[in-house]
């Protein structure tokens, strides 16, 4: 396989985003045809696979710096800068690997959505928005992509608006998304400073002093509301059950990782050298998020809401790694900071895979039984053995049990925690072991989700005719 050269990676990636937007327009008409949705989903899968190859080519030449292109659109008297650097290319691989898998699943599953004309046009637009955020090398295109991603995903959440619960979920999600975008806009405004240079390269050179703490809080609120940090997680358990299962897989397994990228970009790249105390609010919020996420999940019987709460838990684990990286970097412990940041990004990749797998499995179960309440499900392993095997693999991974990938990234996070005695400041030195105990508690609780106590011997289905269809996706 020949990877693209650095001079062409940005052009190819921008062209791929343009193709996704064209697919969104074609989806308006294609969704009216029986084969139309399959064609759109297949095209999305191919484009995302191409974006993985393009991002790999950008990573291959990471030492030569970003190869950006400029478009004559943007703020007044400004231009839009798009391109990959090592950070955005790494996240582009993570995002598009999972998205290609989900799109492949959607070729079969998406044909059974109730109103495809409300889903199919916004699906490629959603993917385009996520990739535009990753390609952005200036604040304007970053925020345009962020809003495009938010609005397209909102449209997917409310695609079945006959339900009052779905409408309420869409409203709460829209409010949270709008507030998050506003805080990110303020953060970029502070970083740009009085000079008003919104290109990332200009922001790095300006290195505005004195605004770092405010930018940190704004980034936590803006990116954290999209990622699902407590207490900004309220939309997740509402929006994920409302959306079609393949869309839920993208929102939970992929879109939340774009939010993590936004936080990393702003704090680790654009805000200048961190102070040691920046890690304190990040670690506190992350520890609370990890623990409360798994506690909420333990009390949940709705399958998709359960998975949404586990996303909250895993986002907390990722931000624990990011908080550790901030503490170590500010203290001059480069090796420990690299370990913590690697653990966080590795968990980003792992979670995008096993959470997408679990939501796809839940979609097969929902289509076969018409049930999300686990108290009414049982005996499915006999009717859907391949689905059961895939779901079991996802459950082992999300429980951080060896030898699956979830265990490896959490183990690396614990290794970073064990390096905390090297920290020179007593506040993080005392805080990190407490966060480690919280992480250990959440990891233990995540494997203790008790099975339903009813219906374990039989399949209670409100849609028995759909069993064979769902079985064909996985078996």
- Is pLDDT at 463 greater than 80 in this prediction? no
- Is pLDDT at 461 greater than 60 in this prediction? no
CA distance 138 to 145: 11
When mean pLDDT is compared across 115-119, 303-307, 386-390, the lowest value belongs to 115-119
- Is pLDDT at 343 greater than 60 in this prediction? yes
- Is pLDDT at 83 greater than 60 in this prediction? yes
Please report, rounded to a whole number, the percentage of residues in the chain having pLDDT higher than 90.
29
Give the tokens for residue 405: 């990938």
Averaged pLDDT for residues 148-163 = 84
Strand intervals (E) in 225-342: none
When mean pLDDT is compared across 130-144, 145-159, 204-218, the lowest value belongs to 204-218
When mean pLDDT is compared across 22-31, 51-60, 98-107, 460-469, the lowest value belongs to 460-469
- Is pLDDT at 474 greater than 60 in this prediction? no
pLDDT for res 427: 85
- Is pLDDT at 459 greater than 50 in this prediction? no
Quote the crossing angle between the two packed helices 334-369 and 405-417, to the nearest 10°: 150
Cis peptide before 223 (omega within 30 of 0): no
- Return the sign of the alpha-carbon dihedral for residues 306, 307, 312, 314: positive
Residue 166's pLDDT band, with cuts at 50, 70 and 90, is confident
pLDDT for res 473: 33
Please say whether the beta carbons of 43 and 99 come within 8 A: no
Residue 23's pLDDT band, with cuts at 50, 70 and 90, is very high
Averaged pLDDT for residues 85-91 = 90
pLDDT for res 379: 72
pLDDT for res 67: 67
CA distance 56 to 61: 9
pLDDT for res 196: 67
Residue 146's pLDDT band, with cuts at 50, 70 and 90, is very high
Please say whether the beta carbons of 441 and 291 come within 8 A: yes
* Distances 108 to 105, 142, 445 between C-alpha atoms, Å: 6, 33, 35
CA distance 170 to 207: 38
When mean pLDDT is compared across 114-118, 172-176, 379-383, 434-438, the lowest value belongs to 114-118
Q: Which helix (H) or strand (E) holds 180?
A: helix 164-192
- Is pLDDT at 226 greater than 60 in this prediction? yes
- Is pLDDT at 77 greater than 60 in this prediction? no
Identify the residue with better confidence: 30 or 340.
340
**For the ranges 51-65, 67-81, 169-183, 195-209, the one whose mean pLDDT is highest:** 169-183
Residue 64's pLDDT band, with cuts at 50, 70 and 90, is low
Residue 465's pLDDT band, with cuts at 50, 70 and 90, is very low
Q: Phi-psi region for residue 270, left (φ > 0), alpha (ψ -120 to 50) or beta? A: alpha
Residue 92's pLDDT band, with cuts at 50, 70 and 90, is very high
CA distance 48 to 56: 12
When mean pLDDT is compared across 177-181, 232-236, 255-259, 459-463, the lowest value belongs to 459-463
The residues, ordered by sequence, that sit 6+ positions from 84 with a Cβ below 8 Å of its Cβ are 9, 10, 13, 54, 55, 58, 66, 67, 92, 134, 135
Residue 424's pLDDT band, with cuts at 50, 70 and 90, is confident
- Is pLDDT at 203 greater than 60 in this prediction? yes
pLDDT for res 73: 66
Residue 63's pLDDT band, with cuts at 50, 70 and 90, is low
When mean pLDDT is compared across 130-144, 217-231, 442-456, the lowest value belongs to 442-456
When mean pLDDT is compared across 74-83, 248-257, 406-415, the lowest value belongs to 74-83
pLDDT for res 467: 35
Give the tokens for residue 386: 């391949």
């Amino acid at each position: 396989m020949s990877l693209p050269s650095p001079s062409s990676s940005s052009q190819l990636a921008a062209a791929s985003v343009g193709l996704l937007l064209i697919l969104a327009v074609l989806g308006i008409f294609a969704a009216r045809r029986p084969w139309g949705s399959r064609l759109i989903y297949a095209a999305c899968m191919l484009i995302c696979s191409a974006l993985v190859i393009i991002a790999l080519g950008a990573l291959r030449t990471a030492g030569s710096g970003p190869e950006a292109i400029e478009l004559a659109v943007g703020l007044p008297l400004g231009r839009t800068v798009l391109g990959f650097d090592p950070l955005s290319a790494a996240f582009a691989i993570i995002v598009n690997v999972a998205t290609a898998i989900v799109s492949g699943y959607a070729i079969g599953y998406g044909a059974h959505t109730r109103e495809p004309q409300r889903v199919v046009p916004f699906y490629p637009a959603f993917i385009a928005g996520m990739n535009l955020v990753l390609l952005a090398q200036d604040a304007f295109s970053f925020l345009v992509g962020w809003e495009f991603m938010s609005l397209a995903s909102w449209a997917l959440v409310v695609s079945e608006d006959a339900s009052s619960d779905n409408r309420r979920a869409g409203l709460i999600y829209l409010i949270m998304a709008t507030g998050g975008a506003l805080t990110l806009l303020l953060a970029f405004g502070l970083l740009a400073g009085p000079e008003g240079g919104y290109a990332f390269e200009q922001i790095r050179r300006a290195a505005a002093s004195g605004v770092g703490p405010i930018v940190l809080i704004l980034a936590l609120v803006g990116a954290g509301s999209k990622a699902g940090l407590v207490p900004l997680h309220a939309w997740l358990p509402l929006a994920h059950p409302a959306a079609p299962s393949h869309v839920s897989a993208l929102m939970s397994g992929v879109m939340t990782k774009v939010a993590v990228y936004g936080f990393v970009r702003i704090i680790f790249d654009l805000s200048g050298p961190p102070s040691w105390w920046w890690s304190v609010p990040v670690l506190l919020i992350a520890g609370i998020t990890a623990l409360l996420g798994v506690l909420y999940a333990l009390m949940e019987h709705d399958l998709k809401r359960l998975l949404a709460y586990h996303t909250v838990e895993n986002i907390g684990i990722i931000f624990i790694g990011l908080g550790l990286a901030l503490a170590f970097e500010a203290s001059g412990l480069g090796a420990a900071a690299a370990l913590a940041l690697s653990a966080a990004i590795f968990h980003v990749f792992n979670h995008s895979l096993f959470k997408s797998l679990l939501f796809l499995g839940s979609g097969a179960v929902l289509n076969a039984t018409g049930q999300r309440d686990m108290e009414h499900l049982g005996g499915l392993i006999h009717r859907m053995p391949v689905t059961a095997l895939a779901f079991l693999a996802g459950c082992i991974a999300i429980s951080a049990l060896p030898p699956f990938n979830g265990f490896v990234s959490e183990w690396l996070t614990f290794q970073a925690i064990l390096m905390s005695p090297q920290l020179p400041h007593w506040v993080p030195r005392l805080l990190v072991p407490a966060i480690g105990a919280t992480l250990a508690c959440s990891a233990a609780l995540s494997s203790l989700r008790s099975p339903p106590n009813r219906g374990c011997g039989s399949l209670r289905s409100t849609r028995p005719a759909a069993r064979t269809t769902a079985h064909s996706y996985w078996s």
